[in-house]
Amino acid sequence: MVRLVAVPRLGRVPPPKGRATTGRAVTGALLEAALLIALGWALGRWGFAGEAFWRGFDRLVYFVLLPALLLRSLAGAEFSGAEAGTLALSAALSIFALTLFLLAARRALGLEGPAFTSVYQGSVRSNTYTALATVPALYGERGLVLVALLIAAVVPLVNVLSVLVLSVQGRGGRPGPSEVARSVATNPVIVACALGLLANASGTRLPAGLDGALAALSAAALPCGLMAVGAALSPGALGGHLRGVSLSATAKFLALPLLSLWTGHLLGLLPEALGALVVFQAQPTATASYVLARQLGGDADLMASIVTAQTLLAFAVLPAAAGLLAG
């Protein structure tokens, strides 16, 4: 094991002791996140620097800043292999269970083809930027490590599952196994997590210069990521998608967290890890879901509505979930 390395982030709040303190901690972290999301939305709507700037800004965050944060936090984290394995298994089993239920209930839910793919992505994917703002507000530096471990476990899984569902139910072409494998293997978040875990397992310390550069990039990852989330929101797209938005919100904010809570209890997760798992799974869906829907023939308009609605709903759901966990 190596020492835990502190990574600059929003919401440097000590781990809370009770329900009231927990609610305040998460609310404070969400207020910071909301202001940055609102700033990104306002700049995007006002045409600041043009649409091309925001596309490049989003790529900078996703390909450089977020991978730097994850690599550094995982490389310097202190955790056991058994703990990480149990956490990853708990997350994966709950996602698989919800996937099987949604597939079995697809016709009963009145969802066909592309609409189902958007509801599915809205049910299983989580926004890493809001997770990085809220979970550390609950559990301090330990929460950052737990989020990084969850990202390492969940991002590859939900990417593969989302592509497979889109390939069967979407309007676009069906990518082959090699294309799916290539998209996962070249995903910058997955690569960064793999390198961080490899460095941690081998006991390798990052060279001082590299560690300093990664620390500087890490400090920018969360605020820039939250602004990118805001720039991607489309409140005007909410009309006409009430059914799909409601189904995805029920699955994301209720079914998946409850499945995760049950699975984590069953596998014996410690309270901190169990709480981090539940709050992570209760995050709004990732904004990258819209890009995937557009590329692979999903219902992109519905996906935009789901992303926007869930991001707004999260500001009520997450403090309540954190308060219940502390109770």
The model's pLDDT over 187-236, given as tens digits with 9 standing for 90+, comes to: 899 999 999 999 999 999 999 999 999 999 999 999 999 999 999 887 76
Least confident of 1-15, 90-104, 217-231, 259-273: 1-15
Local confidence band at 87 (pLDDT 50, 70, 90 cut-offs):
very high
Q: Write down the pLDDT at residue 9.
A: 39
Local confidence band at 8 (pLDDT 50, 70, 90 cut-offs):
very low
Local confidence band at 11 (pLDDT 50, 70, 90 cut-offs):
very low
Q: Write down the pLDDT at residue 6.
A: 40
Q: Write down the pLDDT at residue 7.
A: 41
Please give, one letter per residue, the 3-state secondary structure of 79-124: CCHHHHHHHHHHHHHHHHHHHHHHHHCCCCCCCCHHHHHHHHHHHH
What's the mean pLDDT in 266-286?
Answer: 95
pLDDT in tens, 282-291: 999 998 898 8
Query: What number does CATH give the domain 19-232+243-321?
Result: 1.20.1530
Least confident of 14-18, 75-79, 107-111, 239-243: 14-18
Six-digit token string for 163: 């592509």
Residue 269, C-beta contacts closer than 8 angstroms, at least 6 positions apart: 86, 87, 90, 277
- Which H or E element spans position 139? helix 128-169
With a pLDDT cut of 90, the percent of the chain lying above it is 61
